Structure 1
Amino acid sequence: MLSATIRLALPLLSLLALLGCQQTTSSTNEASTYTQSPETGVRTGGVRVIPIKTPSGTFNVWTKRVGNNPRMKVLLLHGGPGGNHVLFESFESYFPAEDIEFYYYDQLGSLNSDHPADSTLWQTPRFVEEVEQVRQALGLTNDNFYLLGHSWGGILATEYALKYQQHLKGLIISNMMSSCPEYGKYAEEVLAKQMAPKVLAEIRAIEARNDFANPRYMELLTPNFYQQHVCRLKPWPNAFDRAFPQMNSTVYTLMQGPSEFGISGRLAKWDRRADLPKINVPTLTIGGAHDTMDPKHMQWMATQVKNGTSLTCPDGSHCSMWDDQPHYFPGLIKFIKGVDAGQTKNIL
């Protein structure tokens, strides 16, 4: 016969078991919801090709959704200009585990999207309108839409926010300053002086001759600049081996110039320092201590927007999502979830 103590304990044990089952079921349901495809008809693995109207006609751009979360959706704007989504592949190791839905997106002229030859298309305002058309097609709203721009994508994200921030829930400017003249000044006065004088002199001589196709130029920049300030991992991850050869050099050179070591293209005079206070949405600025961009400037940007948060990756360079993942992703995820919970600034 059961003792009185055991008889009393049985209902409690049953309740605990029931709660445990409910928690397990709830967790399982959340996971199954995230991986459940909202697609109807033929399923494409999240890929969607979106027609974009431009002054030169209609062209197609490529996007790919990963995950399914109605509250947290992140559209990724890659660097370049003329780069591609491949350098964002590291996000797959972090966002799905946190139930954050995100979108790869090759901008017009990049990798899987159309490559029109009309050079008048490569203007920042035209790219902003492209992003807005992508947003509309994907159904992103200010209840769920986070825009993350890396490098040139940070310029594009800034410009988008200044025109369309009413559609945003949160903004992330990753590894990009708010002024290209200041970026050029930092490269000249800080980064260049970190090079050996002989190396710098040879680089400057090649640039003076406008001899950027000379293989020696990249031979010098790769170990002395790119491996120091673009990605500090040795060897570089496979994603870099696939992303860089696929870059649209025509778009890149026209807008950025022939090298990351300073800027000389159409973006050379871009400067939005004075306009940062107009950005009201919660904004995270991310920089790396070894970045091509000035980390102090990127910290300062967070103090200029109305609701800013700053993250500096102490071991990171321009691609901190690769060479300082232990700081980059926990900070980024904390920001997104903080905004989702109603926080607005100084979230980290």
Structure 2
Amino acid sequence: MATTTTDKAQFKVGDETFQTWYQVTGDLHSGKRPLVALHGGPGVPHSYMLAHLDLYTSYNIPVVLYDQLGCGKSTHLREKPKEFWTVDLFMNELSNLLDHIGITEDFDLLGHSWGGMLASSYAALRHPPGLKHLIIADSPASMPLWEETTAALLAEFPEETRETLRRHEEAGTTDSQEYQEAVMEFYKKHVCRLEPWPQEIQESFKGLSEDPTVYHTMNGPSEFTVVGSLKTWSIIDALPNIKSPTLVINGEHDEAQELCVRPFRERIPNAKWAELRGCSHMPFWEGREEYFQLVGDFLGSG
């Protein structure tokens, strides 16, 4: 039976102190290298990442999950200006958490979607010496590539759906039910193809809807309309700096199509790539057995 503990790490930003909620499943001192999993969004709480506890169940790998600042059980900061929400902020939070739980010298990192953007930035720009394996799941190497691929996917939908999206985005009424229903048509094909969605995914999206501050500020109103501060983000030029063995994963029907992930596998010196057939943006739910065998074998490779 897995032992799971939860706590909060104090995270100082300037003169202010915030709380990063986290949970640890397994023993960080068992001799098995722990995996820290970074959720997406930004601002989508950790619940949908709970499937990654399969790595503890099947491989005895300790798994650390946490809610990034601004969402879930961590400190919410609805009043902060857009300048507050930066990639550096979240890299600093990750460093603080690693130090708090005492695993800076020996750990693996897995990032999903925005979490993969964060993880690749952390590996390429901070050069953490204790990082032994990096997994980038369903993530773009740049937001311009993401926009290019999501635009192509959206073009396959009926004109009526696209017109509904355009009309509400132009009118600034993206919180309307009609807009949200049109968005969900896209999500059910390219975010998660299971019907119904697992409860853990539903809980994460409920958390996002309750406080979309970080998502709206850094991304925008939807996965395919990027108007926030991440719009020009790219890690492509820094990818050769990543020295850790890296596994890149995406799904056949993923928002993060092959074009998005290609720079990771081409520019990271020691990278492997796997595309999971029949899956979209959440292969750890849609192709769970294949995904975790792939990840577990990679983490155990050295």
TM-score (norm 1): 0.81
Cα offsets for 1:21-55 (capped at 9, x unmatched): xxxxxxxxxx9xxx5x7xxxxxxx42121101112
Matched AA of 2:73: N
Indicate whether 1:270 and 2:229 are aligned: no
Q: Give me the whole-angstrom Cα distance separating, in 1, the residues matched to 2:60 and 2:236.
A: 34
1:335 deviation in Å? 0.8
In 1: Cα distance, 2:262 partner to 2:238 partner:
16
Task: Call closer, same or farther: CA 1:282–1:168 in 2, change over 3 Å.
Answer: same
Structure 1 match to 2:113: 151
SS at match of 2:155: helix
1:317 alignment counterpart = 280
How many residues in Structure 1 have an aligned counterpart in Structure 2?
295
Partner of 1:104: 65
Hey, what's the Cα distance between the residues in 2 that align with 1:291 and 1:262? 16
Whether 1:160 aligns to 2:119 is: no
Once the 2 structures are TM-superposed, how far is the Cα of residue 263 of structure 1 from its aligned partner?
1.6
Alignment of structure 1 residues 6-25 onto 2, 5 Å: none
Q: Which runs of 5+ in 2 are unaligned?
A: none
3-state DSSP of counterpart to 1:194: coil
Match of 1:234, SS state, is: coil
User: How far apart, in 1, do the equivalents of 2:72 and 2:165 lie?
Assistant: 30
1:248-290 superposed Cα distances (whole Å, 9 cap, x missing partner): 3011100010101232111000011121111111111110111
CA contact (8 A) 1:146 1:170 kept: yes
The 1:115/1:56 distance shift into structure 2, 3 A limit, reads farther
| Contact persistence 1:141–1:169 (CA under 8 A) | no
Which of these residues, 200, 210, 229, is aligned with residue 239 of structure 1?
A: 200
Q: Which has the higher helix share?
A: 1
| Gapped regions of structure 1 (runs ≥ 5) | 1-30, 38-44, 342-348
> What is the RMSD of the two structures over their aligned residues, measured on CA atoms?
1.7
Check conservation: 1:285, 1:299, Cα contact below 8 A.
no
Alignment match of 1:85 (pick from 30, 37, 46): 46
Are 2:18 and 1:59 equivalent residues in the alignment? Answer: yes
Cα distance, 1:300 vs structure 2: 4.4
Q: Equivalent residues in 2 for 1:326-345 (5 A)?
A: 326-338=289-301, 341=302
Does 2:154 match 1:213? no
Greater RCO (CA < 8 Å, at least 6 residues apart): 2
Distance 1:262 1:334 in 2: 36
Question: Aligned partners of 1:171 and 1:70: how far apart in 2?
Answer: 19
Q: Is the 8 A contact 1:67 1:96 kept in 2?
A: no
AA matched with 2:153? L
Aligned sequence identity (%): 31
Distance of 2:58 and 2:296 partners within structure 1: 10
